[in-house]
Amino acid sequence: MTCLPVLAEDSGLEVTALKGRPGIYSARYAGPKSTAEECLRKILREMAGQNNRDCRFVAVLALAKQGVLIRIFRGTVKGILTRKKKGRSGFGYDPVFFFPPAGKTFAEMTVKEKNTVSHRAKVLSAFREYYEIKGLS
């Protein structure tokens, strides 16, 4: 066991009409060895004809020290699942995650734009704030 703090993070896409799926299985939604493209095609296939396209990206970061969970941080960003891929940046579900305040998908955003609003940016900001207030020594 280490005396150093340990961080673990995971994130995923939750789609309301799919009762929160794919969630933590986002990276392997189309199967254990599926590609991002296969996962994307599967979710679009399952959502065909669905009117409620509300979704959100969720990131969770856990902080532990010496085997004891210290704190869990959570970051979310709400969006709408598009019917077609749009944009070339990002990865995973970014081409079908439309972010209304920006008027574009995550895949159409610059890295800088996405990093100011994403679920990961929010969770890391919460962690940074906690770290600066509490410290980890």
| Catalytically active residues, by annotation | 10
Other C-beta atoms within 10 Å of 98: how many?
Answer: 21
Q: Answer whether 90's CB lies under 8 Å from 107's CB.
A: yes
User: Which residues is 62 bridged to in the sheet?
Assistant: 8, 72
Which residues touch 65 (CB under 8 Å, ≥6 apart)?
A: 3, 4, 5, 6, 136
DSSP state of 33: T
